[in-house]
């Protein structure tokens, strides 16, 4: 198994922590993380692929070990701009992009800015179709429609230690949940606690991203990026219909549903996911081994 290194880089005056694995001259796979974790969520995926690819997983400000300065644009647009600066700082031009949870919203906005740089998409429980949003979105939709303090306080209960635990364990069966490391919430909460207002603020940011879903869909239709979809349908936010919806815009996408898996598929079905990713990425390389 390859070694994962832990580094920092200055991006626009913000110190960004990131994990890196793989040869420095190998094709790049960018791994933006989701909520409520950090680059930590990719700790097992990275060494599993690092023999042939260069994996880069930064922490967004407000998550993990990156700085979280006052005045930073804590929005998916701000995170997309940070990803762009991160890639520039590391001299990365073209890359495959992993889209998951919050990282999918920032990642799609990055793709809209630079579609020619995206070699391929790996989509894992990252939604882009409003009509397929799962029942766990109901409280968010109610807040977007009527953003009262009472509704905001109700949503804020999710940004607690117990709320993070519930967010991670989700709807999977106990035997599957037993594969999910408690480190995902145990380590995330102390780091996120001081940025709790930022996390709560993202509930409104999600509404803005949902309004951008038609733009994401248009990007897919126009550019037809090679796409692999790996999905855990036991997900109250993003059920199986959310995965299948992508086929309307990228009909040649390779779709795999892991029926007993949920939101944290890399915790519970890592070997099966890696077995789909490796041949998918291998087909995209040229004779020299580059993208």
pLDDT, one tens digit per residue, over 221-272 is: 999 999 999 999 999 999 999 999 999 999 999 999 999 999 999 999 999 9
Give the C-alpha distances (Å, rounded to integers) separating 148 from 92, 133, 151, 200, 228.
43, 22, 5, 13, 39
The predicted pLDDT at position 2 comes to 85
* Mean pLDDT in residue range 196-217: 95
Q: Is the pLDDT of residue 53 over 90?
A: yes
Residue 57 confidence class, pLDDT cut points 50, 70, 90: very high
The order of strands in the sheet holding 227-231 is 5-11, 14-21, 54-58, 28-30, 95-99, 118-123, 227-231, 254-257
The predicted pLDDT at position 260 comes to 97
The predicted pLDDT at position 159 comes to 94
pLDDT, one tens digit per residue, over 144-189 is: 999 999 999 999 999 999 999 999 998 999 999 999 999 999 999 9
Name residue 118's beta-bridge partners. 95
Q: Is the pLDDT of residue 281 over 80?
A: yes
Residue 101 confidence class, pLDDT cut points 50, 70, 90: very high
CA distance 47 to 66: 22
83 φ, ψ to 5°?
-60, -40
* Mean pLDDT in residue range 48-77: 97
The predicted pLDDT at position 287 comes to 74
Using CB atoms within 10 A of its CB, is residue 149 exposed (0-12), middle (13-18) or buried (19+)? exposed
The predicted pLDDT at position 78 comes to 97
Using CB atoms within 10 A of its CB, is residue 65 exposed (0-12), middle (13-18) or buried (19+)? middle
Residue 142 confidence class, pLDDT cut points 50, 70, 90: very high
Q: In order of start, what are the domains of the chain with their CATH numbers? A: 5-282 (3.40.50.1820)
> Tokens representing 126?
């990252």
The two beta strands, 254-257 and 227-231, are parallel
Check the CA dihedral 172-174-176-182 and report its sign.
positive
CA distance 145 to 188: 30
Claim: this prediction has a pTM higher than 0.75: yes
């Amino acid at each position: 198994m390859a070694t994962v290194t832990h580094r920092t880089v200055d991006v626009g005056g913000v110190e960004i922590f990131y994990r890196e694995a793989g040869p420095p001259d190998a094709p790049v796979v960018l791994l933006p993380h989701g909520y409520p974790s950090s680059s930590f969520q990719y700790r097992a995926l990275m060494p599993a692929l690092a023999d042939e690819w260069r994996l880069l997983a930064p922490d967004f400000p407000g998550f993990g070990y990156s700085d979280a300065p006052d005045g930073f644009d804590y929005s998916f647009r701000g995170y997309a701009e940070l990803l762009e600066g991160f890639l520039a700082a590391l001299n990365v031009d073209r890359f495959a992009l992993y889209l998951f949870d919050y990282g999918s919203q920032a990642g799609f906005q990055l793709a809209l800015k630079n579609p020619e740089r995206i070699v391929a998409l790996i989509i894992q429980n990252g939604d882009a179709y409003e009509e397929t949003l799962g029942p766990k979105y109901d409280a968010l939709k109610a807040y977007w429609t009527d953003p009262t303090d009472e509704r905001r306080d109700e949503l804020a209960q999710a940004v607690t230690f117990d709320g993070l635990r519930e967010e991670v364990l989700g709807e999977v069966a106990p035997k599957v949940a037993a594969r999910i490391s408690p480190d995902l919430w145990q380590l995330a909460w102390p780091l996120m606690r001081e940025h709790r207002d930022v996390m709560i603020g993202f509930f409104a940011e999600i509404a803005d991203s949902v309004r951008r879903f038609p733009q994401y869909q248009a990007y897919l239709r126009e550019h037809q990026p090679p796409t692999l979809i790996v999905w855990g349908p036991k997900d109250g936010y993003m059920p199986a219909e959310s995965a299948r919806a992508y086929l309307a815009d990228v009909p040649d996408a390779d779709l795999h549903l892991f029926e007993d898996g949920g939101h944290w598929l890399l915790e519970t079905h890592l070997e099966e996911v890696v077995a789909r990713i490796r041949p998918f990425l291998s087909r995209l390389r040229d004779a020299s081994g580059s993208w």
